[in-house]
Amino acid sequence: MRYREHRKGRCEMNIDGFEIERKYLISMPDPAFLRENAEPSHIEQTYLLHEDPLVTARVRKRGREGDWHYTHTEKLRVSDLRRVENEREIGEAEYCELLLRADPSRQTIAKTRWVLPWRGQLFEIDIFPFWDDRALMEIELTEENQAVELPPQIRVLREVTGDRRYTNSSLSREILREPLEQAEKG
């Protein structure tokens, strides 16, 4: 199943137009489990300068094997779980043009995202090249109090939904390199 098909199946926004997601710090998943149960894609995410300091803007290149898709996204944080998100597909030329507005205080985030369907839910597991013992897993919800059934094959260290240090935006500024035991405790 390709990335576009996964996106159509996601609950990106609830009926009020908000993105609601929960995020977990996890131990590095078993690569064999991911290969057998999830679909990978490569992501390069660059944060942009924006005139409104409350808005986070980025461009993203996502795909694999030369099949790339580009998006421009702006997010406004409403709460730990909820954001207003405006995302649109763009072409490669606009992507390259927007890269000229890259925030020089941040680095581009590269990661492999594994999309894992699990019991009617769709988890996204992000594997970063700067960590070899941990990863991030998130799920988008339609309601803030929606129940989540975590895959038992994934060892959750702790929920980091409200911990801004684990947003991609923050990781583009500073990569967390604390020992795993310390990260697990928060």
Q: Which spans in the chain are helix H? A: 3-9, 31-37, 92-99, 168-171, 180-185
Q: 132: buried, middle or exposed (CB in 10 Å: 19+, 13-18, 0-12)?
A: exposed
Give the predicted TM-score (pTM) of the model: 0.87
Those residues whose C-beta lies under 8 Å from the C-beta of residue 143, and which sit 6 or more positions away, are: 14, 20
Q: Is residue 115 scored above 90 in pLDDT?
A: yes
Q: Is residue 5 scored above 70 in pLDDT?
A: no
Domain holding 150: CATH number?
2.40.320.10
Question: What is residue 104's predicted lDDT score, i.e. its pLDDT?
Answer: 97
Q: Which domain holds residue 157?
A: 3-185
| Domain count within the chain | 1
Asked whether the beta carbons of 149 and 17 are under 8 A apart, the reply is: no
Q: Is residue 105 scored above 70 in pLDDT?
A: yes
Task: Give CA separation, 6 vs 35, 38, 62, 114, in Å.
Answer: 16, 11, 13, 11
Q: Is residue 157 scored above 90 in pLDDT?
A: yes
Rounded mean pLDDT, 144-165:
95
CA distance linking residue 162 with residue 73, whole number of Å: 21
Strands 121-127 and 55-64: unpaired
Q: Is residue 4 scored above 50 in pLDDT?
A: no
| Higher local confidence (pLDDT), 2 or 126 | 126
CA distance linking residue 46 with residue 20, whole number of Å: 22
CA distance linking residue 114 with residue 95, whole number of Å: 23
